[in-house]
């Protein structure tokens, strides 16, 4: 997949960062208007995705205690904590993070993360010191918080070991553009609205599934397109690879490795969802990821504006894992 598709040679229409820092609501799609909690799902019609011989009904796809596995031969056997969880509170890890661990824009890709790192993040959630920057209703984080609070140490270790052994795949292309398709917020992600024209991107990062139907069916092979302001990739590369005295910040590659594929205790960033990476940078900047391990990130983000964070997230997402 091509990592960069330049749609416009003009400058970004986004305004420059202003003094102070406000968490942008657009980075959290669907959080202000979540779906109804008691939806009715069809349990008769069998659904399919390309290249899979498996079939599921809509009701099966909505079961948080039975992760839909469209390609069971593509990954190692899932332990119970990953495939089914434990009723009534510990949901199947693979339901949100997918059986192969590659995740979706609204949650983390766990594939290839060090097992110790995964366990440490869950421990931070249990202590309520790792939170999102968004302070409004937050169903994805609420579900993860419930799992962190209810899972046993053995279940967490089992899941961490499983996901750490799964290979990460880049599923997103980065598109630099001044104008983008019109979108709507659907269950914590943006969907492009077909046939409705376009709109200015401004100083935003908008990530959409290329096929919204396959995204809804939790197909792990669906790809995504992240729209970012023109010039973001060059800007992101400079920020990620060069330590600048006037920024008083350490370049990302110093800790996360020369290709952002991780180093020691520092997790890999390459090829992961740019919108997810952006939300983490916003959380560090807002101080809601206030963990001892995360303290090293505070001086890195202290002088970054939102457009800087968009650029860094876009650059990291464009790299091969």
Indicate the pairing of strand 198-200 with strand 179-181. Answer: antiparallel
C-alpha span between 201 and 222 (Å, rounded): 23
Q: 4-34+169-318 and 58-164: same fold? A: yes
Backbone Cα Rg of the chain: 19
Kindly state the tokens that stand for 252: 């990302």
CA distances from 60 to 42, 96, 156, 172, 218 (A): 9, 14, 24, 27, 11
CATH classification number, 4-34+169-318, choose in 3.40.630.10, 3.40.50.720, 1.10.150.120, 1.10.760.10 = 1.10.760.10
Nearest to 313 by CA among 211, 221, 239, 230: 239
C-alpha span between 237 and 243 (Å, rounded): 11
> What local confidence, expressed as pLDDT, does residue 307 receive?
97
Higher-confidence residue of 20 and 56: namely 56
> What local confidence, expressed as pLDDT, does residue 13 receive?
27
Long-range contacts of 49-57 (CB under 8 A, 24+ apart): 49/214, 49/217, 49/219, 49/221, 50/214, 50/219, 50/221, 51/221, 52/219, 56/217
Q: Are 265 and 97 in contact (CB under 8 A)?
A: no
Asked if the model's pLDDT at residue 182 lies above 50, the reply is: yes
C-alpha span between 84 and 65 (Å, rounded): 5
Nearest to 260 by CA among 239, 229, 235: 239
The string of pLDDT tens digits covering residues 214-257 is: 999 999 999 999 999 999 999 999 999 998 655 556 899 999 99
Average pLDDT of the chain is 90
Whole-structure pTM value: 0.91
The string of pLDDT tens digits covering residues 161-173 is: 999 999 999 999 9
Q: Are 158 and 79 in contact (CB under 8 A)?
A: yes
Fold classified for 58-164: Cytochrome Bc1 Complex; Chain D, domain 2 (1.10.760)
pLDDT band at 32; cut points 50, 70, 90: low
Where are the domains positioned within the chain? 4-34+169-318, 58-164
Q: Are 116 and 265 in contact (CB under 8 A)?
A: yes
The string of pLDDT tens digits covering residues 72-111 is: 999 999 999 999 999 999 999 999 999 999 999 999 999 9
The single residue listed with the structure tokens 């979706």 is 104
User: Rounded to an integer, what is the distance from CA 71 to the centroid of its chain?
Assistant: 21
Nearest to 15 by CA among 202, 174, 169: 202
């Amino acid at each position: 997949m091509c990592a960069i598709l330049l749609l416009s040679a003009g400058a970004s229409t986004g305004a420059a960062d202003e003094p102070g820092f406000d968490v942008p609501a657009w980075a959290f799609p669907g959080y202000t208007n979540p779906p109804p909690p008691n939806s009715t799902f069809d349990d008769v019609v069998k659904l399919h995705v390309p290249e899979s011989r498996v079939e599921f009904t809509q009701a099966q796809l909505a079961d948080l205690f039975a992760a839909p596995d469209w390609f069971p031969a593509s990954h190692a056997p899932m332990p119970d904590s990953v495939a089914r969880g434990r009723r009534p509170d510990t949901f199947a890890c693979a339901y949100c993070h997918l059986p192969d661990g590659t995740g979706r824009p609204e949650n983390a890709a766990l594939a290839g993360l060090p097992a110790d790192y995964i366990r440490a993040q869950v421990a931070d959630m249990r202590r309520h010191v790792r939170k999102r920057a968004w302070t409004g209703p937050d169903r994805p984080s609420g579900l993860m918080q419930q799992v962190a609070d209810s899972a046993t140490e053995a279940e967490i270790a089992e899941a961490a070991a499983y996901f750490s052994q799964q290979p990460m795949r880049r599923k997103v292309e980065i598109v630099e553009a001044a104008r983008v398709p019109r979108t709507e917020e659907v269950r914590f992600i943006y969907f492009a609205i077909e046939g409705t024209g376009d709109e200015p991107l401004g100083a935003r990062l908008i990530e959409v599934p290329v096929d919204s139907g396959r995204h809804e069916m939790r197909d792990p092979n669906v790809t995504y397109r992240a729209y970012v302001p023109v010039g973001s990739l060059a800007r992101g590369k400079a920020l990620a690879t060069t330590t600048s005295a006037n920024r008083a910040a350490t370049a990302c590659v110093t800790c996360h490795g020369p290709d952002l594929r991780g180093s020691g205790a520092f997790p890999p960033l390459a090829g992961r969802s740019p919108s997810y990476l952006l939300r983490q940078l916003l959380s560090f900047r807002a101080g809601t990821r206030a963990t001892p391990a995360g303290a090293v990130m505070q001086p890195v983000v202290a002088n970054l504006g939102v457009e800087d964070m968009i650029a860094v997230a876009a650059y990291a997402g464009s790299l091969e894992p």
